[in-house]
């Protein structure tokens, strides 16, 4: 039975991951980690998360105490917290699944460095369908990308902290790589003013509204036709389920940097 530690039990992803872990037969929740001083420290994680279930796993505010007995850490929190989680996972030699987005390039290098000593699975998106979409984008870009105007439209809830989303940036990187272009040189975030659309540009448009779970559309616009590849998530459960699949995959892996593609054999 795989023992899971979940970071941020009251986060939109943390609480769902706790529920999925509780429902699975091949893993058990050994605890959750919350910031110091919260009034629910010491409570059962399922109750603290508002799920109305008893998991038998307490909420900790001491990461060293929380991490000692787990097999894998799952972290969907914020960048500042995740950086500390990474350091502690490395210190305690624990595999880490991280789905937090919004890191700088320098911060991402820390994950790569840590992966030389522990298994690290970083995933901007843990949905198997989104990763299938990424494969389709790779195929479409190779076939029609050079003759297309490529635009990415992504939608999320009003509380999402980073824009563009990590998922849409990953899509942009896939497209740029298959066009033999540098993402940083061709990505255009938003558009205003006058002038013809430049060639070799990947346009980004971000929507933050209400409780939209996740929506990504990539448009390949050509003369007289267009191809759209879209993924809609109706809620966040698919990402929580995918995160648990990632944790199960990671336990028996050697140190290295992994992604959801490794989990679903893409």
pLDDT in tens, 194-232: 999 999 999 999 999 999 999 999 999 999 999 999 999
Q: Where are the beta strands (DSSP E) in 42-138?
A: 59-60, 72-75, 96-98, 119-122
pLDDT in tens, 6-21: 999 999 999 999 999 9
248 is catalytic: no
Q: What are 8's two structure tokens?
A: 């941020």
pTM for the model stands at 0.84
**Mean pLDDT of all residues belonging to the chain:** 96
Task: Specify the residue for token string 């336990």.
Answer: 251
Cα distances (angstroms) measured from residue 6 to each of 29, 96, 216, 217, 261: 8, 10, 27, 30, 22
Task: Specify the residue for token string 């635009």.
Answer: 151
CATH 3.40.50.720 fits 2-122+237-263, yes or no: yes
Report how far residue 198's alpha carbon sits from residue 203's, in angstroms, rounded to the nearest whole number.
Answer: 10
216 is catalytic: no
CATH number of 128-233: 3.30.360.10
Q: Please state, for a pLDDT cut of 70, what percent of the chain lies above it.
A: 100
In contact, 152 and 168? CB cutoff 8 Å: yes
Cα distances (angstroms) measured from residue 254 to each of 115, 166, 197: 9, 26, 46
Tell me the domain boundaries of the chain.
Answer: 2-122+237-263, 128-233
Q: Which of 22, 94, 156, 216 does the annotation list as catalytic?
A: 156
Q: Which of 3, 12, 92, 160 does the annotation list as catalytic?
A: 160
């Amino acid at each position: 039975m795989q023992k899971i530690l979940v970071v941020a039990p009251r986060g939109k992803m943390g609480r769902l991951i706790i529920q999925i872990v509780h429902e699975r037969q091949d893993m058990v929740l050994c605890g959750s980690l919350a910031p110091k001083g919260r009034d629910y420290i010491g409570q059962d994680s399922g109750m603290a998360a508002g799920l109305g279930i008893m998991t038998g796993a307490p909420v900790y505010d001491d990461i060293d105490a929380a991490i000692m007995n787990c097999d894998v850490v799952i972290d969907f929190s914020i960048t500042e917290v995740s950086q500390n989680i990474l350091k502690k996972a490395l210190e305690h030699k624990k595999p880490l699944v991280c789905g937090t987005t919004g890191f700088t390039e320098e911060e991402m290098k820390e994950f790569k460095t840590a992966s030389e000593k522990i298994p690290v699975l970083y995933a901007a998106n843990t949905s198997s369908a989104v990763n299938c979409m990424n494969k389709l984008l790779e195929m479409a870009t190779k076939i029609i990308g050079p003759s297309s105007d490529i635009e990415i439209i992504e939608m999320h809830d009003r509380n999402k902290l980073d824009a563009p989303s990590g998922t849409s940036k990953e899509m942009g990187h896939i497209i740029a790589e298959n066009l033999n272009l540098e993402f940083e040189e061709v990505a255009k975030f938003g558009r205003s003013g006058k002038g013809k659309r430049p060639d070799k540009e990947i346009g980004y448009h971000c929507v933050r509204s209400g409780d939209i779970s996740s929506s990504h559309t990539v448009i390949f616009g050509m003369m007289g036709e267009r191809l759209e590849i879209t993924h809609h998530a109706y809620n966040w459960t698919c990402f929580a389920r995918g995160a648990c699949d990632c944790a199960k995959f990671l336990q028996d892996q050697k140190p290295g940097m992994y992604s959801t593609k490794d989990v679903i054999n893409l």
